[in-house]
Structure 1
Amino acid sequence: MKRAAASPAAEALPFWKTTPLSKMTPAQWESLCDGCGKCCLVKLRDVDTNEILFTNIACKQLDLRSCRCKDYQNRKALVPDCVQLTPRNIGRIDWLPETCAYKLVHRGEDLPWWHPLVSGDTRTVHQAGISMRRRAISEGRAGEPEDHIVDWIK
């Protein structure tokens, strides 16, 4: 039996549109991170409403220029409460920002134009004003988290 050739349009689809999160290679999975740094911000949960409140306080391991972890391989040892995203927990984490590529792909949505996988440039996440570059402070310099709640993170 002869198989029909895949259409050029199907061949052109990027991996995040064709590969389920659970089937991605480690390199594909890691490339979904856009480098915004939002997941590395201190978040508070309102005990009355259960609402997630973002602060502009960044984990001490977040490089505020690159918006990448300073020691990604050892982050769990350095910051024990650091949450490692996995295909199994991505749907249960309610504090990921709306712009998070893992969340978008999990929902079957497309990546935005500024995502490095779309733009081909790691700088576009910063140029689009999505990243925490020049917007966050390190937790070592911050006072009380309640004094740093921001409403501009979505």
Structure 2
Amino acid sequence: MPPFWETKSLTEMTRQEWESLCDGCAKCCLHKFIESEDTAEEDEFKPTDYIHEDEQLVYTNIACYLLNDKTCACTQYEKRTTLVPDCVKLTQDNLDDVFFMPPSCTYRRLQEGKGMPSWHPLLNKGKKSAMHKAGMSVRGKIVKDNDVYLEDYDEHIVTWPLNELD
């Protein structure tokens, strides 16, 4: 019998199935900003719900202070959107609008028809070790946002969150 992610669309999945798709890489916990020649300096780091065609999404190695940098899991998962109002709760209803998920994100990959990545915990006995070993998580690569001044964010720009293996 084929696995549920091969037989169901993202919108058909149960909540439990949906949650299990999260690979736990924590790239979504990285601070990102939109770079554009037209963006005023005072607006550069403000949250947004959209990106214009002439803009580029830029990732940093700065992660939310709630992230456990060893397990790559949120320490306050159930309360995260209250504690961090800019934290987006990815759901089946808003997946099309969440443009900032990295290319390796399993939700994004399935939506784009690319399939499950080989390092995903669901394909590795529920363990994250293959993901960490492949370098697809943030483990060992981040600093916490409460340790970095906002005006220094541009010194933390990285491209590794955009990497894909398969």
Both structures adopt the same fold (TM-score exceeding 0.5): yes
Q: Which amino acid is the alignment partner of residue 61 of structure 1?
A: L
Q: Percent same amino acid at aligned positions?
A: 40
1:83 pairs, out of 81, 88, 91, with 88
TM-score scaled by length of structure 1: 0.88
Residue 129 in structure 1 maps to residue 128 in structure 2? no
Q: After the TM superposition, list the runs of 4 or more consecutive aligned residues in structure 1 that deviate by more than 3 angstroms.
A: none
> How far has the Cα of 1:80 moved from its partner?
0.7
Distance 1:107 1:23 in 2: 16
- Distance in 2 (CA, whole Å) between partners of 1:29 and 1:79 is 22
Of 118, 133, 157, the residue aligned with 1:149 is: 157
Q: Counterpart of 2:27?
A: 38
Structure with the higher fraction of residues in helix conformation: 2
Q: Post-superposition shift, 1:22? A: 1.4
Higher Cα Rg: structure 1 or 2?
1
* Consecutive unaligned residues in structure 2, runs of 5 or more: 38-53
CA deviation profile, 1:7-53 (whole Å, cap 9, x unmatched): xxxx2x11111111112111111111111110000001012341000
Number of corresponding residues:
143
Q: Deviations over 1:86-138 (max 9, x none)?
A: 11221222211110000011122211111001122222111111100000111
Matched, 1:92 2:81: no
TM-score (norm 2): 0.82
CA RMSD, Structure 1 to Structure 2 (Å) = 1.1
Report the equivalent of 1:5. Answer: none
Structure 1: gaps of 5 or more residues: 1-10
2:4 aligns with: 15
